[in-house]
Structure 1
Amino acid sequence: MTGAGTTPTSDGGGNLSPQRNPERGPSRARTAAVVAAVTLTGATGAGLVAAGLGTTSLRPPQPGASAAPTGERSGSPGPVLPRSEPVRITIPRIGVDAEIVPVDSDSNGSLEVPPLNRPEVAGWYRRGPTPGEAGNAVLVGHVDSQAGPAVFFDLGRLRAGDVVQVTRADGRQATFTVDGAGAYPKERFPTERVYGGDAAARLRLITCGGRFNPRTGNYPDNIVVFATATR
């Protein structure tokens, strides 16, 4: 999602502080510290999903006002699963059927993204919850590539009620229902809603959005999809 002169690891939703052993979910105290770090970073616009290759003349679809989430899904959420790494994501509405690779934070605390030469894969933040586990699992993906639209180009088309399925290494499938989607200027990234969490299993999908600026080499916005496990 980076353009010329930008750092490939500087996008992905926020600047994350190192967390404890990735084989265990982050504690509430650690999550709060991470949220604070991202909030501070967001004030300067650094470390957010804001850059893109900008090689496609198409503007990524943007969530409509009616798609903006007003809260998490009410009612009984789906089952909470034990930890198991995600291996594949399927989003029928927008034709996504993609491999998932783990990504980490770099030495500067920025969330890494999948390799630029693999725009067709999604990245899972390995120090956070796995999809289906309690808390907010975070997946990031490129919006475009040198060849055109990438894995999450159509993310902005998702609406409440759409289904996202994540296949895990243990063979189980975590199914999420979209609560809503929003486009956020990078300086107003919804940090707490993305990286916070509760006892329910939730999913956050993140990519670049807005109109590509060829002068800066950046997309100005972040598109975030919010979803809750339902079965």
Structure 2
Amino acid sequence: MAAVPPGEAGSPAGWYKYSPTPGALGPSVILGHVNSTTSNVGIFYRLRELKPGQTFSVTRADRSVAVFQVDRLADFKKATFPTLDVYGNTNRPEIRLITCGGYNPATNLYDDNTVVYAHLISSHRA
């Protein structure tokens, strides 16, 4: 995984380097843009469509694959983002996928963040 994506919309998703590697104990965090510089479709455009029980995988730097199962989705106002709930320690390997939400046409900005909470269910070689 790369580092946290640059501020420019349309960049690839990136792993927050101060969080655990995806699949390690604790909450790994991956951030990605909902839109792109050339369209409304970014890497996490469809993130909010994930449902509890669905699975997704992350290919790690060592080419192994961590498979996660969605526990829940939540939307938070950026002004009251629950940092400890998202980044705080867990007793199992988990992941948080984070993108922008709540587009405000009056300001041309996103007022919210969408967070997907999931836990590791398996891993395998790519």
Bigger strand fraction: 2
Q: TM-score range by the shorter chain?
A: 0.7 to 0.9
| Other structure's SS at 2:70 match | strand
Residue 228 in structure 1 maps to residue 116 in structure 2: no
What's 1:218 paired with?
A: 109
Alignment partner of 2:77 out of 185, 188, 212: 185
Q: CA deviation at 1:197?
A: 1.6
Matched letter for residue 126 of structure 1: K
Structure 1 residue ranges without an equivalent (≥5): 1-86, 88-100, 104-112
- Residue identity over aligned pairs, in percent, reads 43
When the two structures are superposed, what TM-score results if normalisation uses the length of structure 2? 0.87
Bigger helix fraction: 1
Q: Give the whole-Å Cα distance in 1 for the aligned partners of 2:25 and 2:67.
A: 14
Alignment partner of 1:156 out of 42, 48, 64: 48
When the two structures are superposed, what TM-score results if normalisation uses the length of structure 1? 0.49
| Other structure's SS at 2:58 match | strand
Structure 2 residue ranges without an equivalent (≥5): none
What's 1:102 paired with?
A: 3
Shift >3 Å, 4+ stretches = none
| Other structure's SS at 1:126 match | coil
| Structure-to-structure mapping, 1:40-55, within 5 angstroms | none
Please give the per-residue CA displacement for 1:141-186, whole angstroms capped at 9, x wherever unaligned.
0111232110001111111011120111222111110001011122
Residue 199 in structure 1 maps to residue 91 in structure 2: yes
Q: Give the whole-Å Cα distance in 1 for the aligned partners of 2:11 and 2:104.
A: 23
Q: Give the whole-Å Cα distance in 1 for the aligned partners of 2:37 and 2:18.
A: 29
Instruction: Work out whether residues 114 and 141 of structure 1, in 8 Å CA contact, stay in contact via their aligned partners in 2.
Output: no
Paired residues, what number? 121
Matched letter for residue 186 of structure 1: K
Instruction: Work out whether residues 53 and 71 of structure 2, in 8 Å CA contact, stay in contact via their aligned partners in 1.
Output: yes
